[in-house]
Amino acid sequence: MEIETKYFGSVSPDAGSVVEFPLGLPAFERERGFLAIEHPRTAPLVLLQSMSTPDLCFLALPIGEVDPNYRLQISAEDRAVLGLDQTSDPASGPGVAVMALVAVRHDGQISANLMSPLVVNRANRRAIQSVRCDGAYSHQHPLALPPAGTGAQERPCS
Amino acid sequence: MLVIRRRAGESVFIGDGVEVEVLEIAGNQVKIGISAPRDVLILRREVRLTAEQNELAANSMSFASLAGLFGKMRHSPQGPQSPGDKER
């Protein structure tokens, strides 16, 4: 079965890995299945393509790319949705992938949502957007990216 | 903003159908109970901010713009360099 995508036309699900959000995401509660695609031209960005809405593709960054010292905290309810052990520390193991959703405003300001990280249990591919209440991180953490190349004039002469 | 002092067990009404009661005060947390009609949406502020941010995150951008913005990120001096990364 092919999936219609926003950026790559129709692709096979093998083009990435399928992630299931049993609860959807806030404002997108009906979107349960996403295909996580990494493209060499946009690495380390992860494109989260909705399996059911071709025009919906979220952008996410591995949380360590945004804040190498990020400390994950997730509630018991969220752990249960993910099927994670209630006692283990998910942030310390390779068993979970943690990402921040990236938003680009019309004025070009780019931010990452560190308040509500995406947490994926690699073992069962279940994911949740875990909303923190502790006020430790911003939902609009500004991202400083290297200036984008605008074309040939920025390349050094050779 | 209207500010009202209430003790545990006391409540306020908002409009016709909504009652907010302070159930318990313990340490730096307040437990509140909200009675409201089923069609009234009640969200923790963080969830609402997340929903708004997700709406923003779902907005359109071309792949070329994405590549322009993020394609150089791996070369950023502050980006963590992990061994075993795929080709840059």
Return the CATH number at A17: 2.30.290.10
Nearest to A83 by CA among A49, A118, A128, A116: A128
Distance between CA atoms of residues B74 and A45, nearest Å: 10
Q: What would the mean pLDDT of A23-28 be, rounded to a whole number?
A: 97
Count of the separate structural domains present in chain A? 1
Q: What would the mean pLDDT of A32-47 be, rounded to a whole number?
A: 92
* Tens digit of each residue's pLDDT (9 = 90 or more) over B33-68: 999 999 999 999 999 999 999 999 998 788 888 888
**Rounded (5°) CA angle B86-A115-A52:** 65
Query: Which residues of chain B does A149 touch, with a Cβ-Cβ cutoff of 8 Å?
Result: 68, 72
Q: Is the CB of A45 less than 8 angstroms away from the CB of B53? A: no
Could you tell me what percent of chain B has a pLDDT over 70? Answer: 83
Mean pLDDT of chain A: 88
Q: Is the CB of B72 less than 8 angstroms away from the CB of A133? A: no
Cβ contact B29:B21 at 8 Å: no
Q: Give kind and range of the element (H or E) at residue A104.
A: strand A96-104
Residue A42 structural domain: 3-154
- Any A CB within 8 A of B17 CB: no
* Tens digit of each residue's pLDDT (9 = 90 or more) over B14-34: 999 999 999 999 999 999 999
ipTM: 0.87
